[in-house]
């Protein structure tokens, strides 16, 4: 990527040990077997009496970028932990036919939702530490220019977004074949999110298997190849982003006026309905929203009495029609 900087190769940031040389992602991949594949069979996990995963079966090919969606507490983080080998579980996880363990650990990059970096250490020291843990300081991480903060500053003096960028860069060292990221966009602004998209695509295109957890996967639909949806400890959906997007739900805020609210709630495309004050909230699949708007108009509800809320699972869905993110239906 043009305009990228390499924190490991830049002499003012990190010094490579003698005898070590830097190679590009593509060069190292070309030298590898090239058959990276992850297989999870019957993966189940309970915490005490609470069962989180009920037997997950999934296989992931190399050179793929996959999103794991699902509401909070559904088991996304638990599944990533099982795949990374940090959580004991029933069933098995294989990477290129080998059980996850010491032999595969150096090939896996795992960024949990709350990675606690030492607050007194500088960003430079953190990158050095993770490079040593990865046993591969020859593996550079090409990051977009301006992505990293001042690496001389202690982690404790960085903002949440800056620390997140250091953490992401740190775990990607060593040219991992399997990348597991738990909500990596937390605390990031739009520019940083775009830069993370570039990083994920670069690793995917170089042959890695990239798996990213996100509540709705909305921030990944433009770049992901596949979406997995977890519900009640099981895979409820496994397919293309376009098919998943059709499952997303959105809310229409309707002022029924003289119209019968019960009749409006029984329209064909309505999944669920509820009242909030003068408003009738109608939930529908995103790809049925236009049809529902037409049905409402045919039922005598003009467009100026309909407001569009956010997608279900998105933070915007809880906002009232008077908030800035809601707009009139057109």
User: What domains appear along the chain, each with residue ranges and CATH number?
Assistant: 4-245 (3.40.50.300), 249-328 (no CATH)
Which phi and psi (to 5°) does residue 281 adopt? -95, 120
Q: What is the pLDDT of residue 12?
A: 33
Q: Which residues contact 138 (CB under 8 A, 6 or more apart)?
A: 16, 20, 21, 22, 23, 28
Q: Give the pLDDT band (50/70/90) at residue 92.
A: very high
- In the chain, how many H helices and how many E strands? 9, 17
Q: What are phi and psi of 24, to 5 degrees?
A: -80, 165
The overall average pLDDT reported for the chain is 82
The CB-side HSE value for 96 (13 A sphere, CA atoms) comes to: 16
Span 236-275, pLDDT tens digits:
999 999 888 877 888 899 999 889 999 999 998 899 999 9
d(CA 60, CA 39): 6
Nearest to 209 by CA among 243, 175, 166, 167: 175
Least confident of 98-107, 127-136, 160-169: 127-136
Q: In angstroms, rounded to a whole number, what is the distance separating the alpha carbons of residues 254 and 300?
A: 12
- pLDDT digits over 36-66, tens only? 589 999 999 999 999 999 999 999 999 999 9
Report the DSSP pairing between strands 37-47 and 143-144. unpaired
Are the CB atoms for 227 and 241 separated by under 8 Å? yes
pLDDT one-digit tens code per residue, 112-125: 988 889 999 999 99
pLDDT at 136: 53
Q: Cβ(209)–Cβ(29) under 8 Å?
A: no
- How wide is the angle at C-alpha 223 spanned by C-alphas 218 and 229, nearest 5°? 50
What tens digit of pLDDT does each residue of 15-37 get? 333 333 333 333 333 334 445 58
């Amino acid at each position: 990527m043009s305009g990228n900087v390499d924190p490991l190769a830049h002499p003012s940031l990190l010094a490579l040990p003698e005898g070590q040389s830097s190679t590009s992602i593509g060069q190292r991949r070309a030298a590898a077997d090239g058959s990276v594949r992850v297989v999870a069979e019957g993966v189940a996990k309970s915490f005490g009496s609470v069962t989180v995963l009920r037997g997950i079966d999934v296989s992931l090919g190399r050179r793929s970028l996959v999103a794991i969606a699902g509401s909070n507490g559904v088991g996304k983080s638990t599944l990533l932990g099982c795949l990374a080998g940090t959580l004991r579980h029933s069933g098995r996880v294989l990477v290129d036919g080998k059980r996850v363990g010491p032999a595969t650990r150096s090939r896996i990059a795992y960024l949990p939702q709350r990675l606690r970096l030492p607050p007194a250490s500088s960003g430079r020291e953190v990158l050095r530490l993770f490079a040593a843990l990865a046993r591969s300081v020859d593996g550079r991480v090409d990051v977009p220019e301006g992505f990293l903060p001042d690496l001389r500053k202690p982690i404790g003096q960085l903002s949440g977004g800056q620390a997140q960028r250091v953490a992401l860069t740190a775990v990607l060292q060593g040219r991992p074949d399997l990348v597991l990221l738990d909500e990596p966009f937390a605390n990031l602004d739009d520019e940083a999110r775009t830069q993370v998209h570039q990083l994920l695509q670069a690793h995917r295109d170089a042959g890695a298997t990239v798996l990213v957890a996100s509540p709705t996967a909305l921030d990944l639909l433009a770049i992901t190849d596949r979406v997995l949806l977890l519900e009640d400890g099981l895979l409820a959906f496994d397919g293309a982003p376009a098919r998943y997007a059709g499952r997303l739900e959105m809310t229409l805020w309707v002022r029924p006026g003289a119209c019968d609210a019960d009749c409006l709630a029984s329209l064909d495309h309505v999944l669920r309905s509820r009242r909030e004050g003068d408003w009738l909230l109608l939930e529908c699949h995103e790809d049925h929203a236009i049809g529902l708007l037409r049905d409402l108009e045919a039922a005598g509800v003009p467009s100026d009495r309909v407001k569009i809320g956010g997608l279900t699972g998105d933070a915007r869905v809880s906002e009232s029609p008077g908030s800035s993110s809601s707009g009139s239906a057109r």
